[in-house]
Amino acid sequence: MNVLVTGGAGYIGSHAARQLHTDGHGVVVFDNLFRGHRAAVPDDVPFVLADILDTDVVEQTLRKYAIDCVMHFAALTYVGESVEQPLAYHHNNAVGAVSLLRAMERADVKRIVFSSTCATYGEPATMPITEDTPQMPINPYGWSKLYVERVLLDHAASHDAFTFAALRYFNVAGCATDGSIGEDHDPETHVIPLLLLTAMGKREHFTIFGDDYGTPDGTCIRDYVHVEDLIDAHVLVMNSLQPGDQRQYNVGTGQGVSVKQVIDAAKRITGVDLPVQPGARRSGDPPQLYANADKIKHELGWVARYTDIALTIETAWRWFKDHPDGYRGR
């Protein structure tokens, strides 16, 4: 299958492009390199430097490479930043997705796997979160992704053969187990990379953003799904889609891990007594989010292999130790 990976130079997209390429699919990466890295894309994978907001270029790419399916990862993804810059998030994420779908319609490409998020659920009343949990986002990032899910449903209603799946991720973590590619964000806001950068002496301390939540240890609880498990789910979904399918799946481990528990695991893996300081809560952060991923398990047989946060951190630590300057050192 020929697959266009939008945002394929980013953290998750690069892992997807690499796995699809390894599996023998024809892969094309489409990325504007705003926060992606050209070095994360295999040298023998075609790369298009462009923005999904450029509908004409997307259409030309789809036609040129006879694309059968789009894996859509291109998006802004920082919750806090979305609160500060809501227009940027709605424009890039929502309008960008509409541009992509217009190009797909023109080029007669009818299959897409969309990178959605658990942020569409907001602050659910009960845990774990199922696909039927009401979607009530509490930040612009979540709203921008939910809007795309709505657009996909509306588009599918008017195009009988159009096929999509929206995968609602929980916290994606870890790096390629062989250490070949990893996580390199600027700015970095994710818990595990921040802890590892602190262990490497690149940050003075790690800040806990809120230790007074109504959770057992006062810190936020999240479901950390390993990036390679997540990509396995994408490939399974892509291969299983039938014309007219409209699917939504949670992708997570089903286990909640607190920030303090992640800190303790990082200390064990790195052997460093990390300096930690309390900080104020971040706007738009729910106290806890973790998945019920039974639907994708029952329908496709997908289960997370990495359910121990320490093992996930270990794969990330391997990348960070070997690439202290991220992709800039390659």
Instruction: Tell me if the bond preceding 286 is cis, omega within 30° of 0.
Output: no
- What is the C-alpha to C-alpha distance for residues 186 and 258, in angstroms, rounded to an integer? 24
- What is the C-alpha to C-alpha distance for residues 326 and 320, in angstroms, rounded to an integer? 7
Q: Would you give the end-to-end CA distance of the chain in angstroms?
A: 30
- What is the C-alpha to C-alpha distance for residues 86 and 158, in angstroms, rounded to an integer? 29
Report the DSSP beta bridge partners of residue 206: 276
The torsion angle over the Cα atoms of residues 83, 130, 149 and 17, rounded to 10 degrees, is: 90
Residue 22's identity, in one-letter code, is T
Phi–psi pair at 71, nearest 5 degrees: -105, 115
CA angle 143, 146, 149 (to 5 degrees): 155
State the catalytic residues.
Answer: 141
Q: Which residues of 68-83 are buried (b: 16+ CB within 10 A; e: fewer)?
A: bbbbbbbbbbbbbbbb
Nearest residue to 305 via CA among 200, 233, 211:
233
Structure token digits, residue 253: 């481990």
Q: How many CA atoms lie within 13 A of 21 on its CB side?
A: 20
> Are residues 113 and 234 in contact, defined by beta-carbon separation less than 8 angstroms?
yes
For residue 31, CA distances in Å to 10, 12, 138 come to 8, 12, 28
Burial of 214 (0-12, 13-18, 19+ CB in 10 A): exposed
